[in-house]
Amino acid sequence: MAFSRLLIALVLSILSLQVVARALGRQPHELIKPYKRAALQDIVTWDQYSMSVHGKRIFFYSGEVHPFRLPVPGLYLDIFQKIKALGYTGVSFYIDWALLEGQQGTFTAEGVFALEPFFDAASQAGLYLLARPGPYINAETSGGGFPGWLQRTEEIYRTPAYVKYTDNYASNVGAILAKAQITNGGPIILLQIENEYSDALNGITFPNKNAGIVIPFLNNDIAPEGWFTPGNITGSVDIYGHDDYPMGFNCMVPSTWPVNSLPSNFRELHDLESPTTPFAIIENQGGSSDAWGGPGYGTCAAWFNEEAERVIYKNDFILGTAIINMYMTYGGTNWGNLGFPGIYTSYDYGAVIAEDRTIFREKYSEAKLDANFVMASGDVYLTAVPTESAVNGTMVSTDSLAVAPLKSGSTGFYVVRHSDYTSQESTKYRLTVPTSQGNIDIPQLSSTLTLNGRDSKIHVTDYNVGGTNMLYSSAEIFTWKAYDSYKVLILYGGPGETHEAAFATASNGKILEGSGVTIKPTSGSLQLNWAVTSGRKVIQIGTELFVYLLERYTNRDDAYNYWVLDLPSPSPVNNFHDPSNTAVIVQADYLLHTATIQGSTLALIGDINATTAIEVVGYPSSVTGVSFNQFGPSTAKNSWGVLGGLATYTAPTISLPVFTDLVWKVIDSLPEARPDYDDSNWVNADHTKSTNPFPFVTPTSLYGSDYGFNTGNLVYRGHFTANGNEDNAGTFSVSCTGGLAFGFSVWLDDTFLGSWAGDALIESNQQTLTLPALTAGQKVNLTVLVDTMGFEEAAPIGSNAMKTPRGIMNYGLSGHANTDVTWKITGNLGGEEYVDKTRGPLNEGGLYAERNGYHLPNPPSGPWEESKPFDSLFGAGVYFYTTSFDLNIPAGYDVPLSFEFERTAADASATQNYRCQLYVHGYQFGKFINNIGPQYSFPVPEGVLNYSGVNYIALSLWSLSSAGSAVESLQLISTATIQSGFETVALSPQPTWIARPGAY
Ligand code: GAL
């Protein structure tokens, strides 16, 4: 079994025959046909429509979350519950190899890097997982997830020859993932191989080595190019999928959407390329990354907003999509130098859940409406196929609109949008669609429907609401549920729209709440026609069906405030989505996490930021009361049985430190520029050979990674003896590479020579700096401090861009041959044998204070001078400040905190050239570049911050100009005050400072 498992896995891993042969220790003698492998388990299955889990069809509706971008395992559940509350069924996650094998051959995944807490939280929330372990992940991470030591390999990345370097990672991470598969009681149901491997170079590897991974493999083709589809001669995955970012990544102007970018031929391509697998979009746009100098994530969220979701996600549904993953759903933070140079500290991504974990963005609520519709439509949606592509003007009275039909049995879904999806017009239309009662023109009781601007609507026909046939509806379905003696259907529309729905065979309906609904019995149905206004309308049809007509969004009693919460199922499904189990429908603001039935009480757990009415509009008859966060229960019912109570918000008293009032201690973090500095313990930069494909032109290699320094600041010491020929405006000219927005500064002994202060668009720069007068025979020390911004990524396949070196590329010294200068180098203490195993291989760089661990809690700052980062204007140099303060945030409140620098400082007009790194309990949680921006506000999660006790923070201040710099302002601000039913957040490990042997 083990051997056949390995064989099958190897075949499916799309290794070339040569690689297979090598792995099996024999020559290839036959072509192995890798067409669909025998099932290795029977829990997760699939056909051309969808996946099934435990025999039930399931829409794998997923949000992308990266555990490594939130180093607080105690908060995973919070993120997952917010995703589950959207109606999603899954989460996809990358694993960042660079963080787990920072030293070649030593794999470690513990503490904040452990994956098990992520798996446990997913099971608790009830979300299935798609594991994406790379080894290459891209993901805007340093090196795309490749560890720095991989720069020293000769082989071309992602080709067969390189695969051997992935073995250690693959076998270790494979074993961890295997244990957490659904077959072993865990949440993982899918595994993606490599990332966007859209080429034939066959260097794909994945973590299976004897690990026993039996769940389906899938890929994420960069576009629907048909790589590695079932039956493909070069090998195949089980479920073929591809990525889609229709809007691209330019969010500079929120109202500007790229023209003609909405995919129109995806389904046709799928039917040609992979007709036996479900239509799967493995990465579907959820926002955008943002670069140094960019517009900021507020703008990106406003650009890829709720309108983009409406238009793009509904366009996905009409393709019959049954596996989808929104990239990102919670972006998190590029803490500790984990990002690549194209991005800054925040990886908020403008996603539905903001970096500070709040869900205030309207796009969160819209995502909930979208997901709930397909969930409520169940197998009917999951077995639906497009009958034709969207055609402008077909089935609709104007060719300004396009209608795409999807059919499943007798049910029809009609997605309407503007033909030009960027159109901001308001367009009136009538829809003509086939139904079981013949072709019907909608609306019947008024003249037109309206599509307002960047919107898209899914109209339905012959839609089964738990046994009642809704003949048609122009209003959109949020959800419906059938309980023992009644059914609830929730329809919504945009403000000011007119909608119409008709129920076959029904003959009577009455208004229970609200007004302005025309109810008209006809020969075959009961028609409802209404103008959408704020304030809901509730209609009872017959004895059993309660129809809620809501406005999408204006007041709190609108569609955005309704939640559909799964009730736990019997084992083995438990908290995961069970399409045949009951769910409750509740109106509440701001968030509901979970619902369970305890005795006869429906126990709701949630978050509020204001006193809010809780209304349970759909629940099983066993329930007679409702409680919220343990308050209650209330047994109050309205006239038709809606159960309600009031959740009272009490504002807490929160006191936050005022940084200007604290005692700060400072130490010079550039002792290298002092005459007495001793660098004898430094590494000699004396390599005369390098495997790096970018040949060095200096006498010895000065590439950081050639000496094991792969992260953050690099410091060089150049020694030469003056010969008297440097004079007469002699220069030291130096060229460095650090990636976009990098900078460097140069000193000769204690004389500052100059800096490159950085530019958002420049990744290498040369400076020619004037030397001071030197005396022949004088021993001279040059110090060059380079800020590196992470490694380049390694896409596309076969690219060696990730090997782009970091550090000094070339130099020249007046009156000298380059060989006259001997160099020493340092980065983080220990290089790849990094000291701080808790915070990982990338967190600390080569600043003196970092090498000595002074960024950690409780540094030996007693003897340091007292000084604040705000009030001193030193010259060029690096100063390192520490302070501490207490926090005492009351239990039961979620109060996200951010460190906010002076807002205007990130303007292009800022004149002070300085860079700060912010450390909280040793975790580097911010890299602020005053003269580049755009990030000035740095959220730091609870768990890194201690909310009930002492907090140690540190700030490095690197002034790149001789004028010096002071931090204009730094404040700790709360971005929300939420009364929360969430459990106490466990602190992430925070080992304190101890003297570091051999630190220099
Ligand atoms: C995709 C890639 C992801 C991420 C995304 C952009 O092409 O697979 O890892 O980089 O682009 O955010």
Q: Are residues 403 and 351 in the same domain?
A: no
The DSSP annotation for 53-70 comes to: ETTEEE-EEEEEE-GGG-
| Protein residue with its CA nearest to atom 6 in ligand 1 | 139
Q: Are residues 404 and 370 in the same domain?
A: no
Q: Which of 347, 473, 371 is nearest to 925 (CA)?
A: 347
Is pLDDT at 23 greater than 60 in this prediction?
A: no
461's enclosing H/E stretch is strand 456-465
Q: Are residues 327 and 291 in the same domain?
A: yes
pLDDT band for position 534 (50/70/90)?
confident
Cβ neighbours for 998, distance < 8 A, ≥ 6 positions apart: 681, 829
Among the atoms of ligand 1, which is closest to the Cα of residue 288? Answer: 12
Contact (Cβ atoms closer than 8 angstroms) between residue 428 and residue 448: yes
Q: Which of 513, 406, 422, 512 is nearest to 460 (CA)?
A: 406
Contact (Cβ atoms closer than 8 angstroms) between residue 615 and residue 632: no
How remote is the CA of residue 139 from the centroid of ligand 1, in Å?
5
Say what the pLDDT of residue 428 is: 97
Say what the pLDDT of residue 604 is: 97
Instruction: Average the pLDDT over each of 555-564, 714-723, 970-979 and give the range with the smallest value.
Output: 555-564
Which two tokens mark 824? 């020493």
How remote is the CA of residue 330 from the centroid of ligand 1, in Å?
14
Mean pLDDT of 273-293: 97
99's enclosing H/E stretch is helix 97-100
| Protein residue with its CA nearest to atom 11 in ligand 1 | 139
Contact (Cβ atoms closer than 8 angstroms) between residue 748 and residue 772: yes
* Angle subtended at Cα 954 by Cα 953 and Cα 955, rounded to the nearest 5 degrees: 135
The reply to whether 995 falls in a domain is: no
Q: Considering its fold, how many domains does the chain have in total?
A: 4
Of all residues in the chain, what percent carry a pLDDT higher than 90?
86
Active site residue 388: no
Please write the tens of the pLDDT for every residue from 180-232: 999 999 999 999 999 999 988 777 766 554 578 899 999 999 999 999 998 77
Q: How far is residue 873's CA from residue 965's CA, in Å, rounded to a whole number? A: 5
Q: Are residues 756 and 864 in the same domain?
A: no
Please write the tens of the pLDDT for every residue from 562-620: 999 999 999 999 999 999 999 999 999 999 999 999 999 999 999 999 999 999 999 99
Say what the pLDDT of residue 506 is: 81
Of all residues in the chain, what percent carry a pLDDT higher than 70?
93
pLDDT band for position 557 (50/70/90)?
low
Q: Are residues 351 and 436 in the same domain?
A: no
Instruction: Average the pLDDT over each of 154-168, 468-482, 855-869 and give the range with the smallest value.
Output: 154-168
Q: Are residues 879 and 815 in the same domain?
A: no
Within 13 Å of residue 914, how many CA atoms lie on the same side as its CB?
29
Q: Report phi then psi at 645, rounded to 5.
A: -165, 175
Say what the pLDDT of residue 394 is: 78
Mean pLDDT of 918-939: 96
CA torsion sign for 796, 798, 802, 804 is negative
Judged by DSSP in three states, 558 sits in coil
Please write the tens of the pLDDT for every residue from 638-671: 999 999 999 999 999 999 999 999 999 999 999 9
The reply to whether 374 falls in a domain is: yes
219 lines ligand 1 (CB under 6 A): no
Please write the tens of the pLDDT for every residue from 728-738: 779 999 999 99
Q: Are residues 291 and 153 in the same domain?
A: yes
Among the atoms of ligand 1, which is closest to the Cα of residue 139? Answer: 9
CA of 795: how far to CAs of 342, 741, 798, 947, in Å?
14, 21, 8, 41
877's enclosing H/E stretch is strand 877-888
The reply to whether 333 falls in a domain is: yes
The domain that contains 461 carries what CATH number?
2.102.20.10
23's enclosing H/E stretch is helix 17-24
Say what the pLDDT of residue 11 is: 34
pTM over 0.85: yes
Q: How far is residue 298's CA from residue 814's CA, in Å, rounded to a whole number? A: 49
Helical ranges in 25-87 per DSSP H: 76-84
Q: How far is residue 572's CA from residue 164's CA, in Å, rounded to a whole number? A: 38
138 lines ligand 1 (CB under 6 A): yes
Q: How far is residue 710's CA from residue 840's CA, in Å, rounded to a whole number? A: 12
Contact (Cβ atoms closer than 8 angstroms) between residue 885 and residue 951: yes
Which two tokens mark 127? 């979300």
Which two tokens mark 303? 């650009």
The reply to whether 680 falls in a domain is: yes
Say what the pLDDT of residue 729 is: 79
792 lines ligand 1 (CB under 6 A): no
pLDDT band for position 3 (50/70/90)?
very low
If you average pLDDT over every residue of the chain, what do you get? 92
139 lines ligand 1 (CB under 6 A): yes
pLDDT band for position 783 (50/70/90)?
very high
Burial of 55 (0-12, 13-18, 19+ CB in 10 A): exposed
Helical ranges in 788-923 per DSSP H: 848-851
Q: Are residues 367 and 410 in the same domain?
A: no
What length is written for the chain? 1000
Please write the tens of the pLDDT for every residue from 398-412: 999 999 999 999 999
pLDDT band for position 172 (50/70/90)?
very high
Q: Are residues 377 and 394 in the same domain?
A: no
**Long-range interactions of 293-296: CB distance < 8 A, separation 24+:** 293/741, 293/759, 293/760, 293/761, 293/932, 293/933, 293/934, 294/251, 294/252, 294/760, 294/934, 295/251, 295/252, 295/934, 296/933, 296/934, 296/935
Please write the tens of the pLDDT for every residue from 85-98: 999 999 999 999 99
Say what the pLDDT of residue 38 is: 60
Burial of 426 (0-12, 13-18, 19+ CB in 10 A): exposed
Q: Report phi then psi at 216, rounded to 5.
A: -65, 145
282 lines ligand 1 (CB under 6 A): no
Contact (Cβ atoms closer than 8 angstroms) between residue 592 and residue 563: yes
Which of 64, 101, 140, 283 is catalytic? The answer is 283
Contact (Cβ atoms closer than 8 angstroms) between residue 793 and residue 748: no
The domain that contains 946 carries what CATH number?
2.60.120.260
Q: How far is residue 304's CA from residue 363's CA, in Å, rounded to a whole number? A: 9
Which of 64, 194, 196, 793 is catalytic? The answer is 196
Contact (Cβ atoms closer than 8 angstroms) between residue 413 and residue 317: yes
Contact (Cβ atoms closer than 8 angstroms) between residue 836 and residue 853: yes
Which of 96, 244, 283, 325, when mutated, tests ligand 1's pocket best, judged by the most ligand atoms within 8 Å of its CB?
283
pLDDT band for position 901 (50/70/90)?
very high
Letter for the amino acid at 364? Y
Which of 593, 625, 645 delimits the end of a domain?
Answer: 593
Mean pLDDT of 532-545: 94
Q: How far is residue 407's CA from residue 874's CA, in Å, rounded to a whole number? A: 71
140 lines ligand 1 (CB under 6 A): yes
Secondary structure (H, E, C), 646-713: EECCCCCCCCCCCHHHCCCEEEECCHHHCCCCCCCCCEECCCCCCCCCCCCCCCCCCEHHHHCCCCCE
Query: Could you count the other beta carbons within 10 Å of the beta carbon of residue 768?
Result: 13
Is pLDDT at 904 greater than 70 in this prediction?
A: no
Say if residue 772 is preceded by a cis peptide, omega within 30 of 0: no
Instruction: Average the pLDDT over each of 554-568, 753-767, 957-971, 977-991 and give the range with the smallest value.
Output: 554-568
Q: Are residues 217 and 256 in the same domain?
A: yes
Say what the pLDDT of residue 235 is: 72
Q: Provide the edge-to-edge strand list for the sheet that holds 476-482.
A: 476-482, 487-493, 545-551, 537-541, 509-513
The DSSP annotation for 466-525 comes to: TTEEEEEESSEEEEEEE-SS-EEEEEEE-TT-EEEEEEET---EEEEE-S-EEEEE-SSE
Which of 138, 198, 349, 792, when mutated, tests ligand 1's pocket best, judged by the most ligand atoms within 8 Å of its CB?
138
The domain that contains 230 carries what CATH number?
3.20.20.80
Q: How far is residue 320's CA from residue 444's CA, in Å, rounded to a whole number? A: 29
Q: Provide the edge-to-edge strand list for the sheet that holds 764-770.
A: 764-770, 731-737, 807-813
Contact (Cβ atoms closer than 8 angstroms) between residue 468 and residue 460: no
Cβ neighbours for 525, distance < 8 A, ≥ 6 positions apart: 437, 471, 502, 503, 504, 505, 506
The reply to whether 100 falls in a domain is: yes
Mean pLDDT of 677-700: 96
Q: Which residue has the tokens 């010491």?
A: 717
| Protein residue with its CA nearest to atom 5 in ligand 1 | 139
Q: Are residues 246 and 370 in the same domain?
A: yes
Q: Which of 187, 77, 83, 204 is nearest to 136 (CA)?
A: 204
Instruction: Average the pLDDT over each of 183-197, 314-328, 385-399, 677-691 and give the range with the smallest value.
Output: 385-399
Which of 137, 140, 218, 334, when mutated, tests ligand 1's pocket best, judged by the most ligand atoms within 8 Å of its CB?
140
Q: Are residues 207 and 232 in the same domain?
A: yes
Q: How far is residue 180's CA from residue 133's CA, in Å, rounded to a whole number? A: 13
CA of 462: how far to CAs of 51, 436, 526, 540, in Å?
25, 7, 13, 19
Q: Which residue has the tokens 């990744």?
A: 763
The reply to whether 617 falls in a domain is: no
Q: How far is residue 6's CA from residue 189's CA, in Å, rounded to a whole number? A: 19
How remote is the CA of residue 222 from the centroid of ligand 1, in Å?
9
Range of the domain at 495: 387-593
289 lines ligand 1 (CB under 6 A): yes
Is pLDDT at 383 greater than 90 in this prediction?
A: yes
The reply to whether 625 falls in a domain is: no
Active site residue 726: no
The DSSP annotation for 901-921 comes to: E-GGGGSTT----EEEEEEET
The reply to whether 749 falls in a domain is: yes
980's enclosing H/E stretch is strand 978-980
284 lines ligand 1 (CB under 6 A): no
Is pLDDT at 834 greater than 80 in this prediction?
A: yes
Q: Report phi then psi at 160, rounded to 5.
A: -55, -40
Is pLDDT at 25 greater than 60 in this prediction?
A: no
Is pLDDT at 24 greater than 70 in this prediction?
A: no
Which of 66, 225, 327, when mutated, tests ligand 1's pocket best, judged by the most ligand atoms within 8 Å of its CB?
327
